[in-house]
Amino acid sequence: MRKTVLILLLAFAVLLTGCGGQTAGESSAGVKPESAQNANNGVLSEEEAKQALLTELDAEDSSEFTVGLLREAELGEAKVYAFELVGKSGGAGTVYFVHSESGKVYPNSNELLLDKFKESEDKEQYKKEKYIDADIYYLAMKSINDPEELTWEAYIVADAAYSDLAAAKKAVVANHVQNHPVLSLLGKHIDEIVAATGLDPQIAEVEDIEGVENYTIHEINFEDALVFFDNEDIASQIFIEGQREFLGVQLGNTFDQISEVLGLPESISEDPFFEDVHTMRYVFDDFTLEFYAESREAPTASAMVTYQN
């Protein structure tokens, strides 16, 4: 009888021990601290994102500023944290972005959106328009859990991001000019142009349109274009004729056809010095561009590019 009771007690103890081990195992696998869950699914919590930012800035123990969550945003299916660093001595804060999945820290939204674009396998979905000879792409990120939704935008051209469309188009123009065989001569010294083209400069007399006094300058005739130099021998103007293509248009196009590519001009007017000449003028960062035609509807016959230094 005692042996039977002892066997039953031992069996019951084994049963309890087995059940207890299973319960403990279920507890450790099914209920986890937030940090453990984040470690498994690769998504940073707000506190972990903040720590990633401080680590990136090598400022874990800094007492010179405070860090606070400014906003949360959504980029695709990922969450992005926007933190603001404010110096304790005052002044404007600095905003940093932390991607919750990659843990990468960005000093501005442009770099964040550019990374998103580069990682995408379907870049055509972001294409906004073609300007001159380049595609411009557009990405946006919106804040979430925000009473006033905020949008961060980026316009991307040739692996560089810009905050607005105008800046992106300026970058397209600058890149085009830099790589164009004629326009790239603008602003260069005569010695550099002689070395590049193998052409010697000529002396040209320029008639003073105001009738005061004519003067002489250096000029080089290069590929249907006359390159004029100022008194410091810098290429200050380029007069273009023929069917030369540049900035996505070519001479022979009408004013309307050109404006469809380059956008609205600065002005269209009759030339004050020459009869039957109409001028359409564009202003860019480093130069102005004028197209000439007999009327607003006539094909353009020539153009003048003037360096602005």
DSSP per-residue codes, 11-42: HHHHHHHHHHHHHHHHHHHH---HHHHHHHHT
Contact 97, 38 (CB under 8 A): no
Are 114 and 101 contained in the same domain? no
pTM as predicted: 0.76
297 is a domain residue: yes
Are 91 and 158 contained in the same domain? no
1 is a domain residue: no
Confidence of residue 61 (pLDDT cuts 50, 70, 90): low
Are 156 and 61 contained in the same domain? no
Confidence of residue 41 (pLDDT cuts 50, 70, 90): low
Are 185 and 153 contained in the same domain? no
Q: How far apart are CA 163 and CA 157, in angstroms?
A: 11
The H-or-E segment that residue 9 falls in is helix 2-30
243 is a domain residue: yes
Are 46 and 129 contained in the same domain? no
Of 126, 141, 165, the residue at which a domain comes to its end is 165
What is the overall mean pLDDT for the chain? 85
CATH code (residue 275): 3.40.33.10
Task: Please give the share of the chain, as a percent, with pLDDT higher than 90.
Answer: 69
Are 193 and 302 contained in the same domain? yes
16 is a domain residue: no
> Where does 181-280 have alpha helices with state H?
190-197, 255-262
Are 157 and 211 contained in the same domain? no
Are 300 and 217 contained in the same domain? yes
Are 203 and 258 contained in the same domain? yes
Least confident interval from 21-25, 211-215, 242-246, 265-269: 21-25
Lookup result for tokens 């990374």: 115
Residue 120 is encoded by which pair of tokens?
């995408």
Contact 155, 136 (CB under 8 A): yes
34 is a domain residue: yes
8 is a domain residue: no
Of 107, 122, 143, the residue at which a domain comes to its end is 107
Q: What is the per-residue pLDDT for 204?
A: 86
Q: pLDDT at residue 8 above 70?
A: no
Are 222 and 287 contained in the same domain? yes
14 is a domain residue: no
171 is a domain residue: no
Domain count, the chain: 3
Are 95 and 161 contained in the same domain? no
Are 51 and 129 contained in the same domain? no
Domain holding 50, by residue range, is: 28-107
